């Protein structure tokens, strides 16, 4: 397959068209950041603790959460805490942001790529069942576009095989699996607050651990292996037993996060409205289908992406949209094409089938339903 070069579809100026992504920042965040910048703490301080607490109250029934510098930081810590070591086999999605899988390379793990479910673009349960082995140490999932994976089945597989279930929920904050928010299903769940995510802190992440007893070790790993509370209290014994990292969130980011949490339900409702408008407009367009939930347990979800499957000539549709000042793109690519993962594409028939067909359309709160109607109208004209 010949991939488009980046300069063939350069980034669009938001003043000249409808861009694919736009940061969602509460107006209160400006005052909150100004207040933080005027105080003592701009690094990791009391606002980081407050953000962790408010996040936990909002989304979790049990376990503990730890605010970090990025979703990638959270993944690396989750992999360490799950006991993944040199040579351990890990089942992980081929179709995801490379941030899901790169931290496994830090640990020199053996990644076994899993195919997608063509209806949701999440992990294929059938492929997992075929590839899980006595060597498998963990299963890593991604909730593509905000649609949770089938966690009842995944938990059964992980329990039967005695392996960790690690959930990359970078796309799915605010989504529910059954009656519970994402974050309550797996041994470890990570969230991303990167600039264009549903909830942003500018950049940042959260690690959720079902086993709250891991929290103290996680806090040390977040800060060079040092017990930060004891050090600040003057009672630290000046020893480091774990190799740690500089993965903490800072109070400036946490201030943005706290402000955005206050209006989070409004953010979710607005995204759902736009998504439903797309569904209604595109449902009878020949040659187009929309990636959406297929399970009753995943119907209450917060969409981060609106992904369509284009039966023919995806590049032609992208060109038609761009000529009408609408940005589109693939966003994520199969990881097994990259040199760092060995370059050799795996045998993944569903990924092979959809690789040249999926396309992400704009979905963010700078849009209106009229903008959605315009995008749909352009598509209906043909390409």
Q: Percentage of the chain surpassing pLDDT 70?
A: 96
Last residue of a domain, one of 262, 297, 318: 262
Q: Examine the domain organization and report whether 229 and 370 are in the same domain.
A: no
Say yes or no to pLDDT of 11 above 80. no
Find the mean pLDDT for residues 162-188: 98
Residue 238's pLDDT is 82
Q: Minimal CA–CA distance to 122: which of 94, 98, 99, 103? A: 94
Kindly report, residue by residue over 253-290, the tens digit of the pLDDT: 999 999 999 999 999 999 999 999 999 999 989 999 99
Residue by residue, DSSP assigns 193-259 as --TTSSS-SSS-EEEEESSGGGHHHHHHHHBTT--HHHHHTT---S---S---B-B--HHHHHHHHH
Count of domains forming the chain = 2
Residue 78's pLDDT is 98
Distance CA 148, CA 153 (A): 12
Least confident of 9-13, 85-89, 297-301, 313-317: 9-13
Last residue of a domain, one of 209, 241, 262: 262
- Kindly state whether residue 21 falls inside one of the protein's structural domains: no
Q: Examine the domain organization and report whether 153 and 50 are in the same domain.
A: yes
Instruction: Return the residue matching tokens 């009408």.
Output: 324
Distance CA 211, CA 196 (A): 30
Marked catalytic residue, from 197, 210, 219, 220 = 197
Residue ranges of E strands in 28-186: 64-68, 89-93, 95-96, 110-114, 136-142, 164-168, 176-177, 180-181
- 3 C-beta neighbours (distance < 10 Å), count: 11
Q: Examine the domain organization and report whether 92 and 128 are in the same domain.
A: yes
Q: Minimal CA–CA distance to 140: which of 114, 166, 101, 102? A: 166
Q: Examine the domain organization and report whether 221 and 271 are in the same domain.
A: no
Residue 2's pLDDT is 44
Residue 358's pLDDT is 98
Beta bridge partners of 333: 96
Q: Examine the domain organization and report whether 47 and 130 are in the same domain.
A: yes
Q: Examine the domain organization and report whether 141 and 249 are in the same domain.
A: yes
Question: Whole-number mean pLDDT of the chain?
Answer: 95
Structure tokens belonging to residue 322: 């761009």
Q: Examine the domain organization and report whether 96 and 244 are in the same domain.
A: yes
Last residue of a domain, one of 234, 262, 290: 262
Say yes or no to pLDDT of 4 above 60. no
| Domain CATH number, residue 227 | 3.40.640.10
Least confident of 195-199, 212-216, 343-347, 361-365: 343-347
Catalytic residue list contains 197: yes
- Kindly state whether residue 230 falls inside one of the protein's structural domains: yes
Least confident of 10-14, 109-113, 337-341, 372-376: 10-14
Report how far Cα 216 is from the mean position of its chain's Cα atoms: 25
Q: Examine the domain organization and report whether 320 and 226 are in the same domain.
A: no
Q: Minimal CA–CA distance to 1: which of 329, 233, 315? A: 315
> Can you give the residue range of the structural domain that contains 50?
28-262
- Kindly state whether residue 286 falls inside one of the protein's structural domains: yes
Kindly report, residue by residue over 243-258, the tens digit of the pLDDT: 999 999 999 999 999 9
Residue 229's pLDDT is 81
Residue 236's pLDDT is 76
Q: Examine the domain organization and report whether 237 and 289 are in the same domain.
A: no
Q: Examine the domain organization and report whether 215 and 275 are in the same domain.
A: no
Kindly report, residue by residue over 341-365, the tens digit of the pLDDT: 987 788 999 999 999 999 999 999 9
Q: Examine the domain organization and report whether 170 and 276 are in the same domain.
A: no
Q: Examine the domain organization and report whether 58 and 145 are in the same domain.
A: yes
């Amino acid at each position: 397959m010949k991939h488009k070069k980046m300069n063939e579809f350069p980034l669009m100026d938001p003043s000249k068209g409808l861009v694919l992504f736009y940061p969602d920042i509460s107006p209160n965040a400006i005052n909150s950041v100004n207040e933080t910048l005027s105080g003592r703490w701009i690094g990791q301080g009391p606002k980081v603790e407050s953000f962790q607490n408010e996040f936990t109250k909002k989304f979790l029934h049990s376990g503990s959460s730890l605010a970090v510098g990025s979703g990638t930081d959270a993944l690396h810590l989750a992999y360490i805490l799950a006991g993944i070591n040199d040579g351990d086999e890990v089942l992980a999605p081929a179709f995801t942001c490379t941030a899901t899988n790169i931290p496994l390379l830090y640990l020199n793990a053996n990644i076994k790529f899993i195919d997608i479910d063509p209806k949701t673009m999440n992990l294929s349960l059938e492929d997992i069942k075929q590839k899980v082995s006595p060597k498998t140490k963990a299963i890593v999932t991604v909730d593509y576009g905000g649609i949770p994976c089938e966690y009842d089945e995944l938990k059964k597989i992980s329990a039967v095989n005695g392996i960790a279930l690690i959930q990359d929920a970078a796309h799915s904050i605010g989504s529910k699996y059954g009656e519970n928010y994402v974050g309550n299903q797996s041994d470890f769940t990570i969230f991303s607050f990167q600039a264009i995510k549903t909830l942003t802190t500018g950049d940042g992440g959260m690690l959720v651990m079902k086993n709250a007893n891991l929290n103290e070790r996680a806090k040390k790993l977040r800060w060079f292996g040092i017990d930060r509370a004891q050090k600040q209290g003057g009672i630290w014994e000046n020893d480091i037993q774990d190799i740690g990292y500089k993965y903490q969130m800072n109070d400036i980011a946490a201030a943005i996060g706290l402000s955005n949490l206050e209006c989070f339900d409004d953010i979710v409702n607005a995204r759902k409205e736009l998504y439903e408008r797309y569904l209604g407009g595109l449902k009878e367009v020949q040659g187009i289908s929309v990636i959406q939930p297929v399970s009753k347990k995943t119907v209450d979800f917060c969409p981060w992406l609106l992904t369509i499957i284009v039966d023919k000539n995806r590049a032609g549709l992208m060109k038609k949209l761009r000529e009408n000042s609408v940005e589109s793109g693939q966003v994520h690519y199969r990881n097994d094409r990259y040199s760092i993962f060995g370059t050799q594409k795996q045998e993944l028939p569903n990924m092979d089938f959809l690789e040249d067909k999926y396309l992400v359309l704009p979905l963010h709160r700078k849009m209106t339903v009229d903008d959605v109607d315009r995008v749909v109208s352009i598509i209906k004209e043909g390409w």
